Structure 1
């Protein structure tokens, strides 16, 4: 999960990041800059124990079919992502791991376990390519939703809800979190435990703790993974997942596991991989602690009237639903809003030609779980479908072509030349880019919806 608490790259997170709606450009931000909020503080420093000798054993095996590192500089341009810096850090990998022993000891990890669990580690440099990948082409949000919210996944979700009804009942009573949201996260993150990733979490986080541009962040993840193993919550073979270290059916990062994992059945272990009770309780606890509002929806599909001022479609402009109604917005299914006093903000992910959504507090909670708008929308919609709801009422502008990364980079550069964009063009569309595009659209008399289309690129080119 990636909610400021962790960087996650699940099987579906790669699509999330490519959806071009990531709130801050996924991987760079933490995969999904939301993950730059690492907490630091001064602590008393005990005497530093000597680093134990790491036994020489066979290196950790990589997943079948894993590709080798390209040997090229990373796309981010970060000095630690140059090919020479990567090679230099890889050559120092053993010394780097050994240097982490004092901190491991402060966390209560025994020397025997430190030796045992770090003995076979070796750098997986292919992760450097994955960490800095910037796909040329992305998916439209409607294609993304088509992939994730489909009949097969819904059928499996209903089976899971029925099979584990007692656990979902207990979790709802204990945490007040909607069971359909938990089931939706389970389904979208791992297709109900069938696609959880096959890399060693310990080896991946060790690689990232010693090599690349996020070492400080991943040192905490690596040491937290060691704590999990030292405590005995999970076995080493269970800690397999994504290249960024997320594991289990709902994709916990090690630090998130430490904060949110629950021993739901009282067996003394917090097993979020193979124990459905622990998995459901831990995911519910995560959402509750992130601010879930019991009994409330995540949001509503709305019809936005023609001529609406899309400059109001901003996450920072939350207003009561009754106020949005006064501006002409109505629920797409014709039903009234349950509580006109609930505050929401307007999201128009496909601009003026697509459906609008009024997002409540629980949508923000899902965004903390994984800070990508397309992901959070998929979770909310899938949950509604699981409880018997209907597809979205309004059509998506499927005729629109998604811009390539090269075109997105050009659009940012042209906005910068005209004085609308003050960031560094990188081909990633976050809030700053959308605000700049809105300002340009308003200046030329178009709906200021911030939706980057081929037509807008042509207008910027002056053709």
Structure 2
């Protein structure tokens, strides 16, 4: 009787445990099907063969995606780590070393060089830390994992496009575990949309060519509406009893929804002055015809920032108040805005 019940129990477990895990193909079968799909899309066999021969499943990439550390931070703990004295010093040195190129880029794209260097420094530590994963393998590993299959498959096809266009070799196409590439840490889709040939050699090389790196960062910002007549924003002091509903409401949102909340908060500097908002030295805000939204990265009671339109552009790059604030802070420490 016991053995009969045990057998029935095992049968029940098998019959009820047949979702995704039991139906999921092997990585080899998955990549074989993906290869046929790529060929059906018109990718050349001479491109496809070496790429698919190189694909390797990396469990560590899946674990990195699923177990990203949840660190309790405030802006005051985050900024000193991201904008350290060492990074400030390196940013200033590199800004001066590349000043002629940065000035050319600024004139062509309308983006101040200090913001290009700040993004370069924060994304890849000035090209020193770009990741050493094979980008095609990382993307297919994450597609196979299945949680965001459509997104990573599309990124993989963009990576194939980049290889087909001859901008980088398969062996050199390295990046982070999530597929972000080069000194600017562009995903393949961002590369397709924004990468630039900064020196006219016919290639867009964000891995080793500094002219291409700078031009690509600048083009991204330009295409998203950067205004080089303005800075990013400024830290401010709010008066006692300030109504925090004047700030952008917090919460994880789609960009379109976040922009709607920005519009609700946006006011002229004169209006913010009238509400008692001041500079850090407690003097009145500048008398300039600029609109700004109020950002409270840590919520009510935390540090406060008036954010200009360029802040919105940086939030398109990375929708994180902490990241964008670190870019602005570092840019201001490279060379103070006028």
Please give the range of the TM-score, normalised by the shorter of the 2 chains: 0.7 to 0.9
> For the structure 1 residues 134 and 301, does the alpha-carbon distance in structure 2 shift closer, same or farther, using more than 3 Å as the test?
same
* 8 Å CA contact 2:126, 2:183 repeated in 1: yes
Find 2:335's aligned residue among 364, 377, 387. Answer: 387
> For the structure 1 residues 310 and 124, does the alpha-carbon distance in structure 2 shift closer, same or farther, using more than 3 Å as the test?
same
Cα displacement string for residues 152-172 of structure 1 (whole angstroms, at most 9, x for unaligned residues): 111111221122222211110
- State how 1:338-357 maps to structure 2 within 5 Å: 338=286, 340-357=288-305
Q: Distance in 2 between matches of 1:362 and 1:267?
A: 31
Structure 2 residue 301 is the aligned partner of structure 1 residue 367: no
C-alpha deviation, 1:86, in angstroms: 6.0
Structure 2 residue 309 is the aligned partner of structure 1 residue 309: no
Residues 319-328 or 330-339, more deviating: 330-339
Find 1:230's aligned residue among 158, 161, 164. Answer: 164
Find 1:154's aligned residue among 63, 71, 88. Answer: 88
Find 1:95's aligned residue among 15, 29, 50. Answer: 29
Unaligned stretches of 5+ in structure 2? 1-16, 249-261
Give aligned pairs, total.
307
| Secondary structure at 2:305 match in 1 | strand
Task: Identify the residue that residue 74 of structure 2 maps to in structure 1.
Answer: 140
C-alpha deviation, 1:218, in angstroms: 0.6
* 8 Å CA contact 1:204, 1:243 repeated in 2: yes
Find 1:166's aligned residue among 100, 103, 106. Answer: 100
| Secondary structure at 2:235 match in 1 | strand
Q: Distance in 2 between matches of 1:190 and 1:87?
A: 40
C-alpha deviation, 1:220, in angstroms: 0.8
Find 2:274's aligned residue among 318, 322, 326. Answer: 326
Cα displacement string for residues 136-155 of structure 1 (whole angstroms, at most 9, x for unaligned residues): 54222211100011111111
> For the structure 1 residues 360 and 87, does the alpha-carbon distance in structure 2 shift closer, same or farther, using more than 3 Å as the test?
farther
Structure 2 residue 72 is the aligned partner of structure 1 residue 124: no
C-alpha deviation, 1:118, in angstroms: 1.2
* 8 Å CA contact 1:128, 1:212 repeated in 2: no
Higher relative contact order (CA 8 A, sep 6+): 1
Greater C-alpha radius of gyration: 2
Q: Normalized per residue, which structure has more helix? A: 2
Normalising to structure 2: TM-score of the pair? 0.84
